[in-house]
Amino acid sequence: MKKLINRREFLRLSALTAVGTAAAACGAQPTPTKAPEPTAVPAAKVEPTKAPEPTKAPAAPAATKAPEPTKAPAAPVSQYKEAPMLAELVKAGKLPPVDARLPKKPCVFPVQESVGKYGGTLRRAFSGVSDRWGPTKFVDRFWVWYDKSLNLQPRIIESWQVTPDAKTWTLKLREGMKWSDGKEYTSDDTMWWYQYELQNKKLNPAIPSQWRSAKTKKIVKLEVPDKYTLKFTYDDPKPLFLYGIARSVAGPNTPSHYMKELHEDTTSDKAKLAEDVKKRGFDSWDRYYLDFAQYWYANPERPFLGGWLAKGALSKELFIMERNPYFWAVDKEGNQLPYIDKITHRLFENAEVLNLWVTNGEIDFQNRHMSVANYTLYKQAEQKGDYKVLLGISAGHVAIQLNLTTKNKLLREFFNERKVRIAISHAINRNQINELVFNGLLKPRQYSPLPMSPNYYEKLSNAYLEYNPDLANKLLDEAGYSKKGSDGIRLHKDGTTPISFVIEGTDQTGTPTEDAALLVSKDLAKIGIKATYKYVERALYTQHYESNEIEAAWWGGDRTVVPLASEAPIFRATMIDRPWAPAWGLYYMDPNNPNAEEPPQGHWIRTIWKIWDEEVAVEPDPQKQNEAFKKILDIWAEELPYIGILGEQPALVIVKNGFKNYLPGMPIDDTTADEHLLHTETYFWDDPAKHTT
């Protein structure tokens, strides 16, 4: 609760004070009090505020550079401290001193356990270019990012302001902030992006929804009054503006001095550019620009603002990232971040090899690809591999979607009966499934925001969870489905057709989730409903839901940490791979879609859309916004469009002993970059010398 109030207070202030100012979480002075976390972390074993670097790093309080106090007496006293490997470069004259590399007011990142030590390598694994999210989620954060309580805080920008009508957002950049090549980052960079990228028809055939007004569809207006100010003006309110960009990384953060040479309209050497496009195997410039040139991980030469920079190609067996000497954040004692020198991602073809790497202690920090099914395996090898399995909380749910718009008329009538959905929910023995399939690690709950979410709504989370087949039978009888066939299966209202449907899912035979689906189908058989689980190949599954040829689906539900950040697509039925009402969802997005269908007048789904369009999506006051969203959740709690079964699945995070500043118990969701919700740049090794390979 406390989190909620903090967040509301904080954001309301910004809205109310006419042109309210967002706090400067990354404050001017590197003082501990500025850290946005108000309370100490309960779980953290805080190392009693000891001097951070007893031996290795620049320990001497005022020493300029590197660990040789005797040799640099004449040097001016440096305000900030830096990693030894950078200090050496400075000494060799290859890099400007740390004070000159940092912006005037560096961002101060809070540390979760203690101030860290410099050095070491972090070993992780990924499965190839299409799995680049392993590396990218580690570093990709934008102008703003979440703090531990899931409030947005300024990050690259110094502060933001928003007008009370939520139409104009003014962002203040940090003076003197540098790209990784040492050039300053200013509003010119964003302006160049706005002119040459966003409005380039080849690169953006349609303006992305983030950058256009919701109703007029017109492009946002960007003004840059000075070198460090960006002013975005929309025709309609855009209260979710900051959420929409929290994780993007290219876009408005474009190093224009570099990118303009790779842009066909602004390059000074067209022939050379064309040559490069061809050499890299692209058949058009726009593909070259969009798939290669603009991304730091694909194009290591592109200047970047992240904590680590790509060294070498992502398509190789080992992808290496090395610290960015110009990274613009420090800890509370003025040490330039990040602490860790190098992050490596090793390519694996097969999960079993990854498991062996983990149990052999060759993986230092990893959540991605760590399956809960292997919990015991990982636990058993903790000692041998010298690591611990920490638990985060996954945003995913085990759930069934009954297609309320299925083409089968009788089934549609059946699913659309509220009592039927509630009966089905009561018929499922959640505890049994949890024990038999998931070792009791999950929690019975409906699909709903997680407890740590600002949108947590207990009524929905706990709605109709009780296992009560008698009640379920009674509800079905009341709903008019009391007649049964000779085989005990209930009959539809036509009196002859047995109630039978197929639950399609992409969980293959033998997987735990498939076991769970089979148990659900047994539970439903007990109340006279025949529901058969059927594995379908995922491309086929996609075809089925896109064309609304699906009766019911077995696909979980995530985006439950900060649902508003992704515009709550599941709650509005617009994310049709969770097909609880695909035809209606398609209608809402585009009435002309051949598979779209208008929902009946007065249907509750129209109320959901109305609340979203007229209240949530235009409301600048975050408190009122959450209140409005709660109304949608309340409709969910009453109508139960989605049958949630289990949730709060523990997410396994392998953490090598001696790895610090990572906290267990964090939510793990795409929106908040999986296991990287906390500042990855503050991770460090207790004994960096031991981790140098």
Residues that bind other proteins (CB under 8 A): 123, 128-131, 133, 205-206, 208-209, 280-284, 286-287, 290-292, 298, 312-313, 315-318, 320, 344, 346-350, 352-354, 356-357, 359-360, 362, 368, 395-396, 506, 537-543, 558-559, 566, 577, 589, 669-671, 674, 693
User: Shortest gap between Cβ of 642 and other proteins (angstroms)?
Assistant: 16
Q: Which is nearer to other proteins, 351 or 441 (CB)?
A: 351
Compare residues 472 and 575 and give the one whose CB is closer to other proteins: 575
Closer Cβ to other proteins, 296 or 328, answer by number? 296
Report CA-CA distances (Å) from 554 to 371, 414, 604: 19, 18, 23
Question: Checking DSSP bridges between strand 107-108 and strand 152-154, what pairing results, if any?
Answer: unpaired
Q: DSSP class of residue 607? A: H
Give the nearer residue to other proteins in terms of CB position, either 63 or 589: 589
Specify whether the CB–CB gap between 333 and 57 falls below 8 A.
no
Q: Which is nearer to other proteins, 184 or 597 (CB)?
A: 597
- As beta bridge partners, residue 124 has 345
The strand ranges marked E within 41-146 are 107-108, 121-126, 144-146
637: which residues sit within 8 A by CB, 6+ positions away? 446, 457, 459, 460, 463
Q: Is the Cβ of residue 81 or residue 124 nearer to other proteins in the bound state?
A: 124
- Pick the closest to residue 397 from 438, 365, 341, 362 (CA basis): 438
CB-based contacts of 486, cutoff 8 Å, min separation 6: none
CB-nearer residue toward other proteins: 95 or 310:
310
For the CB of residue 6, give the shortest distance to other proteins in the complex, in Å: 26
CB 350 to other proteins: min, Å = 5
The angle at the Cα of 305, spanning 303 to 306, to the nearest 5 degrees, equals 115
Q: Smallest distance from the beta carbon of 265 to other proteins, in angstroms?
A: 18
Query: Are the C-beta atoms of 290 and 203 separated by less than 8 Å?
Result: yes
Strands 318-323 and 308-311: antiparallel
In the sheet with 308-311, reading across from the earlier edge strand, the strands are 121-126, 342-347, 318-323, 308-311
Min separation Cβ 566 and other proteins, Å = 6
User: Min. distance of Cβ 145 from other proteins in angstroms?
Assistant: 16
State both tokens at 314: 């992502």
Q: Which is nearer to other proteins, 346 or 445 (CB)?
A: 346
**CB of residue 417 vs other proteins: minimum separation in angstroms?**
30
Query: Nearest approach, Cβ of 51 to other proteins (angstroms)?
Result: 32
3-state SS class at 82: coil
CA dist., res. 322 & res. 341, Å (int): 6
In whole angstroms, the minimum distance from the beta carbon of 621 to other proteins comes to 26
Residue type for position 631: K
β-bridge mates for residue 233, sequence order: 168, 221
**How far apart (Å, rounded) are the C-alpha atoms in residues 316 and 128?**
8
Least CB distance to other proteins at residue 90 (A): 26
> From CA 493, how far away is CA 479, in angstroms rounded?
10
Q: Residue written as tokens 């953290």?
A: 44
- Using the minimum distance from each CB to other proteins, give the nearer residue, 179 or 642: 642
